[in-house]
Chain A
């Protein structure tokens, strides 16, 4: 017990939690934005891969870190647009289209990586984002080491929580996005375009997802390799339900998952000798399932989620 306690009060544990949470924060915000407008985006897993690969490749080709982030966001927007066109004006099944986007984005990313670098055995490295030393915060006792070790992308993720919250709840655009996810006819009757709002939300949400992927190759690691996304996208889909489609709770859910994951790694080394390591690997997923069961009963689904809408049919 003492071991766990010591881990929980250690600075490195919380710094790691925040780092592990970062891609999830991007992903869960992106998924939340899509779903608030009424569109489930199961392309998220593939968009993570595409964001990770394209952002890294851009930097490797010399675009610079900022350029890499932009390329990743654009790549996400592009795959989001494919999903949006298939599901919104064409009204295809959001499940099928989303899974299709995941398969397509994943394989084309691998394909481009292989074509661009046909003869490498070990993945080439880039110079990733460095931790930012913030003047006052770094000197604080506990918070300094926790927040002083984070890169610009983690700060961007935290900023995006505020931005998404503000847009959704404090601007006319956000009101319209919430309305289109609840009853598209309400938006149509007020003279706004259901299609434009939904396509916009899905494209923007997909960009955020791609940034989650880009964090992996440009901040957490410094290279791209196959299978590195490893289900993070799917976790985000579950976290949105856990968060009951609220940005603040989404941040909380992502942090919680990140903390479980960080704890798991440490427990493996501490008590790993008599409990198989796989048990700890499972822990974050098991705990997120339990959290979902508790939270999902009260979940406040957008009423028009998954329901296609066609102009003129009422």
Chain B
């Protein structure tokens, strides 16, 4: 490509305390280009983008951006207003939308003088509708944003940037919450917009979409730029190696003969307080040596399915069997003693007690174990030893077992939970979104351990929004949509994606 640069980051560095989040990162962006920014969690991608947008002040380096006359001029660092005025639009990973306001109000927020006595809604609406027509980002402008779907909210975020005449659009993990179809549509829209001269930087963990939709890939590791490659020259293996810095281990799922049934749900109906908390007539069975993947966009009943299997919710109709025993009164205690280990969906809320130490969290589900308790008193020394061994075996890194668990990073919290669950050798593991928000290294570690458990003879119920993960790990796949659960025999992405969106071919 011979297009002109619209943006140059020149050896940007940022230090937080003792960690160097960005180390002399240099980056160029051309007009109409889609640049993918890749890296593990904590590699410094978001920090870099936050410096570009003025949320953080760089310690070193400068940013040049093309002005109206196509000259590269320095951008005032540390001022979101300056970044906005220069034509940088940022779509954050967590939506920055006011849910009590309409899409229109969210889009115009901050673009008009605050002290104006009123707004010219007609003119504003015309401009937005023109943008919607050009970009294909369809949204109902009059509805409170809180009532829009996740995909629509994402479109509002992008419209916000386009409304401010963004020349450069930064997207931080834009597809993390979208269905495969919504994600593809988003990228198609983005591709169309680049034809109008928009330049895009997007951060992603998903190698597939990076390879499919970007023009160029930049990889960060430990705050440094470690690789840059044109997408046409790249493949999954090359990029994965750049990100991890070593040969990425490829997971091998060998075929195993399944054993006897561990858990069966038959014709379960559960009426929750809303549609997203209800199950209608679902049946499933998990065997030894088997991973059952439950695919689906979150909010379609997965949480209540997980609660049901954890003994936290009770069905209105239907039968739960563990092994050959019918469970009449489900309770968390009954489920735990039946050998079910749980990896909860929201690890910060349900997985750990942040203010308690790592050691205390490690023994939370084995309080009666004589190894850590005697006559009703906890044995501090033994507890610390036990937790230290556990942390070593499961590679939990952090300040130490005597520090509060909230100081651990997301990946290490997940490993700690895994350690706690797997140490009890559960016969059945319920893993709800086990790799959400984890980077490639930590995620593949979690996936490997789940497969190890299956090889050892356990059954695994894997609830995940990441279709690629489901396809990698599962022996059988079911799709959850609107409280219903359907088994699919095909392993075709398209077909499963259609079911996830509630369309039957």
Interface, chain A (partner B; CB < 8 A): 170-173, 175-176, 178-183, 185-192, 300, 302-303, 312, 314
Contacts and interface: CB of A to CB of B under 8 A. Distances in A.
A314 B93 CA distance: 10
Contacts of B118: 170-171
Q: By CB atoms of chain B within 10 A, which of A170, A173, A183 has the most?
A: A183
Contacts of B29: none
B96 A183 contact: yes
Contact of B98 (A178, A191, A300, A314): A178
B122 interface: no
Contacts of B306: none
B55 A312 contact: yes
Given A179-B109, A192-B109, A186 B98 contact: yes
A60 to B, nearest CB: 36
B80 A182 contact: no
B101 A189 contact: no
Given A188-B96, A189-B90, A302-B100, 12 more contacts: A170-B118, A171-B119, A172-B114, A176-B110, A179-B101, A179-B109, A185-B92, A186-B106, A189-B96, A191-B83, A191-B84, A192-B109
Nearest to A245: B100
Contact of A187 (B55, B94, B110): B110
B55 to A, nearest CB: 6
Nearest to A192: B110
Contacts of B105: 175, 179
B81 interface: yes
Given A172-B113, A312-B56, A186 B96 contact: yes
- Of the four ranges (under 10, 10 to 19, 20 to 34, 35 or more), the interface on chain B belongs to 20 to 34
Q: By CB atoms of chain B within 10 A, which of A173, A182, A185, A312 has the most?
A: A182
Contact of A186 (B97, B117, B119): B97
A189 B100 contact: no
Contact of B80 (A175, A189, A302): A189
Nearest to B157: A189
A122 to B, nearest CB: 47
Interface in B78-136: 80-81, 83-84, 90, 92, 94, 96-101, 105-106, 108-119
A187 B106 CA distance: 9
A312 B78 CA distance: 10
B30 interface: no
Given A171-B118, A173-B115, A189-B92, A182 B110 contact: no
A191 B114 contact: no
Q: Top 8 closest A-B pairs, CB basis?
A: A190-B110, A179-B98, A189-B96, A191-B81, A182-B98, A185-B96, A172-B112, A186-B98
Nearest to B92: A189
Nearest to B102: A175
30 contacts: A170-B118, A170-B119, A171-B114, A171-B116, A172-B108, A172-B114, A173-B116, A175-B101, A176-B109, A176-B110, A178-B98, A178-B100, A179-B105, A179-B109, A183-B96, A183-B97, A185-B96, A186-B98, A186-B109, A188-B96, A189-B80, A189-B160, A190-B109, A190-B110, A190-B111, A191-B81, A192-B109, A192-B114, A303-B99, A303-B100
B166 to A, nearest CB: 12
Given A172-B108, A314-B92, A178 B80 contact: no
Given A175-B105, A188-B80, A191-B81, A183 B55 contact: no
Nearest to B119: A172
A171 B116 CA distance: 7
B21 to A, nearest CB: 13
Contacts of A175: 101, 105, 108-109
A175 B92 CA distance: 21
Contacts of B111: 190
A183 B105 CA distance: 13
Given A186-B109, A190-B110, A171 B117 contact: yes
Nearest to A300: B100
Given A172-B113, A173-B114, A190 B99 contact: no
B149 to A, nearest CB: 17
Q: By CB atoms of chain B within 10 A, which of A181, A189, A312 has the most?
A: A189
Contacts of B96: 183, 185-186, 188-190
A176 to B, nearest CB: 6
Contacts of B109: 172, 175-176, 179, 186-187, 190, 192
B79 to A, nearest CB: 8
Contact of A182 (B55, B81, B100, B119): B100
A191 B110 contact: yes
Interface in B36-86: 55-56, 80-81, 83-84
Contacts of B92: 185, 189, 314
B111 to A, nearest CB: 7
Contacts of A179: 98, 100-101, 105-106, 109
A5 B114 CA distance: 49
Contacts of B83: 191
A299 to B, nearest CB: 13
Contacts of B114: 171-173, 176, 192
Contacts of A300: 100
Nearest to B81: A191
Contacts of B119: 170-172
Contacts of B56: 312
Nearest to B105: A175
Contacts of A183: 96-99
A248 to B, nearest CB: 16
B340 to A, nearest CB: 35
A112 B81 CA distance: 45
Nearest to B46: A314
A298 to B, nearest CB: 14
Interface string B154-197: 00000010000000000000000000000000000000000000
A264 B216 CA distance: 76
A240 to B, nearest CB: 15
Contacts of B160: 189-190
A182 B83 CA distance: 24
Contacts of B55: 188, 312, 314
B273 to A, nearest CB: 14
A218 B12 CA distance: 62
A171 B80 CA distance: 23
Contacts of A181: 100
A314 B81 contact: no
A166 to B, nearest CB: 9
A182 B99 contact: yes
Contact of A314 (B94, B97, B99, B112): B94
A173 B111 CA distance: 11
A191 B86 CA distance: 12
Nearest to A175: B105
A302 B109 CA distance: 17
B112 A190 contact: no
A172 B109 CA distance: 7
B101 A182 contact: yes
A309 to B, nearest CB: 12
A185 B100 contact: no
Contacts of A170: 118-119
